[in-house]
Structure 1
Amino acid sequence: MDRRTFAIFCHHLRTIGGLKGTKNMDVEEMVAMFLHIVSHDIKNRIMRRQFAHSGETVSRQFNAVLNAVLRLHELLLKKHEPILGSSTDERWKWFKNCLGALDGTYIKVNVSALERPRYRTRKSEIATNVLGVVSQDMQFIYVLPGWEGSAADSRVLRDAISRTNGLKFPQGFLAPYRGQRYHLNDWDIPPNTPVEFFNMKHSSARNVVERAFGLLKGRWAILRGRSYYPVKIQCQIILACCLLHNLIRREIPIDPLEQAIGESVEDNCDEDESVGNDHYTHIKISNAWTSWRDNLAREMFDQWRNRRHT
């Protein structure tokens, strides 16, 4: 985050988030302390020495900034922008009117011994299952943390849809074909059928979610290690980091972290840590929606094949 973005962030926290300085600490110092903690996963005892404040003050001001950041959700969450028919983006131009891509990731949390079995992932880590919906420019449109690591992806998605202020979509989810090649590293041999071509392009577009989660974890160290916060606070921190991610993507034309690590950014979000290799294909789709997908797959494949032969 550069100085200009930092100043914009502090302004938003004052005017929208309601954050106010205290007798001994102004807003800028409070925000700097908060960013230092989430960026480097610094513990309270270290912050006391670095900022020359008591542990109680550090904790209190961290929570004050966290609550103020969460009040910015309407401002910082990306609004739906459907893909235009005139799009030239090779990842997205095939999916006219698509609003974004969704997937999930695991982020470690701190829970009681009694709750650990429910939060245990298939890799035996104690984590929350986080659903994210991302736009084509890698900004978060929707984030739902809090589900146990053992929860199935379809269960998390159903919950997101059923909530009063949950995930809204006009038509449906465009899932890949199951039982076919899908992941980007599967395409050493070009696709031979409409189904394979659809899956290749679907994977290329959906990869934006892995890259966004990779940037998120790469930038905010507090999301990578073992959490020492209660699960409720950790989930609030996850959402706050997503909002900060959007602010940086919005205010800085070239994301410094993405520029530094390039296309390998998704490596920070290990594919084995994603919610599941089937993604969200367990949501039942109608015959009409399946037929629409089949027609789209044939149209995409025919266009691609005709261009190759001209």
Structure 2
Amino acid sequence: MDNWIVNDCVRPLVAAFTTVVVVVACIIEDMHVSKPGRSKEPSMFRDLTRKKHMERILRSGRDYCVSYLKMDVGPFMHLASIMRDKHLLQDTRHISVEEQLAIFLHIVGHNTKNRTMRIEFVRSGETISRYFNCVLRAVYAVRDDFVHSPSSTSHPKIECNPNWYPFFKDCIGLLDGTHIDASVPPEEMPRFRGRKGPTQNVLVVVNPDLQFTYVLAGWEGSANDFTVLKDALARPQPEGLKLIEGRRPSTSELIYYTNEQLTGVIIVGKYYLVDAGYTTMQGFIAPYRGVRYHLKEHSGRSPTNPKELFNLRHSMLRSRVERAFAILKNLFKILTSHPFFPFRTQVKLVLACCILHNYIAGADPNDMLMHEETTQNDEQIMSTQPRSQREQREENRAWIELRDKIANDMWMTYSSFL
């Protein structure tokens, strides 16, 4: 009788406990299935879907691959090998280096959102984000392999063009700035607000092959271009912009030169071509102000004096930096859209896109309408010594006289054919 009573009391408790266990198990299973990025299908089927997606990208022809990854299969596989050999990326049990690169390249090339990438690659949003940042760090790590400092030798593109050679034989780069959309906290918005909303001011140097030889990103959009240039010059190497100089005469040597000879003694270095937003000074030659400059201003009109001819050819050469900007932004749509990354990531993205631009220009020049050859000479860069204000004024005057000399030489050659 007592056993019957005990069993009768225990049964409801056991039943209630069993019910609770089943309900909890069901809830856990529902949470597991409904977790973003998880699929109810077997993992084998998901892996097969991912494999077929990569095969479709790499085997559907050049046009499809270039459209999807911004580079052909050969350069893509070579880039994957570089990342693997340098141990910057590694294959895991579930995702290869090639798929990691494909995720990153498609996002930066098309500004594709995370939710879209989850569907295309059958991955969770967390996986997409994690490998995007892994590849971003890897691309940034190969910066020195693809972004080379300018050479002191005359560039072949200049040498083979009679409009530029020998007048610009000492030009080592084309310098300019551009603005990239930025996303910053509200309290920092006034500093970054430019003419087109919040932006970061990016300073670059491009060679005549349309490849970037220097990139400084991260300055707020409200910053003046000349302020950004001064910061680039003040930074320690290798982050700073290098000025290639020759030997400067000592004070004792200067007494042996006349004022006319002094110009030739001081001007012994190379220079960058800059637009009218900068000034002509040591290492930089700007166009004449108040004189026709842009190519459309010269359309249908021949130069009438040395200054106009100089500005025309200066503009013809320096316009290649604007073409490089256009190619960069056309390749990587992420640079033309409002970003949703932390600002430090936004800065690294600009640098990474410039690195990839240079890589594609070298590995697949037909895709970029560029030539593959680049000059990569290691030249001796001499540090700039402190100068007095008077010395700086004299040096700037000497660079202005050099510009006048180039302009007059151009005009004499040009006039001889009229």
TM-score by length of 1: 0.87
* 2:338 counterpart of 1:226: yes
Query: 1:17–1:72: 8 Å Cα contact kept in structure 2?
Result: no
Larger-gyration structure (1/2): 2
Moved more, 82-91 or 71-80: 82-91
Trace 1:150-161 onto structure 2 (pairs within 5 A).
150-161=222-233
State how far apart, in whole Å, the 2-side matches of 1:220 and 1:104 are.
Answer: 18
- Shift of the alpha carbon at 1:230? 1.4
* 2:261 counterpart of 1:168: no
4+ residue segments displaced more than 4 Å: none
Indicate the residue corresponding to 2:326 in structure 1: 214
- Shift of the alpha carbon at 1:16? 3.1
- Cα distance change, pair 249–84 in 1 and its aligned pair in 2 (3 A): closer
Indicate the residue corresponding to 1:44 in structure 2: 114
State how far apart, in whole Å, the 2-side matches of 1:23 and 1:90 are.
Answer: 58
Indicate the residue corresponding to 1:130 in structure 2: 202
- Cα distance change, pair 90–109 in 1 and its aligned pair in 2 (3 A): farther
SS state at 1:130 partner: strand
Trace 1:1-310 onto structure 2 (pairs within 5 A).
1-16=71-86, 18-81=88-151, 82-83=153-154, 87-90=159-162, 92-93=164-165, 94-123=167-196, 125-164=197-236, 165=238, 166-170=240-244, 171=269, 172-188=283-299, 189-256=301-368, 258=369, 286-306=396-416, 308-309=417-418
Deviation digits for residues 27-74 of structure 1 (CA, Å, limit 9, x no counterpart)? 000000000100110111111111111111111100100000011111
SS state at 1:99 partner: strand
Deviation digits for residues 65-120 of structure 1 (CA, Å, limit 9, x no counterpart)? 00000111111013423325981225642300211101011110110111111111
Moved more, 17-26 or 31-40: 17-26
Indicate the residue corresponding to 1:266 in structure 2: none
Percent of residue pairs identical? 43
- Residue type of the partner of 1:12? I
- Residue type of the partner of 1:11? S
State how far apart, in whole Å, the 2-side matches of 1:90 and 1:51 are.
Answer: 52
State how far apart, in whole Å, the 2-side matches of 1:105 and 1:52 are.
Answer: 37
Query: 2:182–2:200: 8 Å Cα contact kept in structure 1?
Result: yes
State how far apart, in whole Å, the 2-side matches of 1:17 and 1:35 are.
Answer: 19
- Shift of the alpha carbon at 1:156? 0.5
Deviation digits for residues 5-41 of structure 1 (CA, Å, limit 9, x no counterpart)? 1011112222236211222101000000000100110
Q: How many residues align?
A: 283
Query: 2:294–2:312: 8 Å Cα contact kept in structure 1?
Result: yes
Which one scores higher on RCO, CA 8 angstroms, separation ≥ 6? 1
* RMSD of aligned alpha carbons: 1.8
Indicate the residue corresponding to 2:375 in structure 1: none
> Of Structure 1 and Structure 2, which has the larger fraction of its residues in helix?
2
State how far apart, in whole Å, the 1-side matches of 2:112 and 2:195 are.
Answer: 28
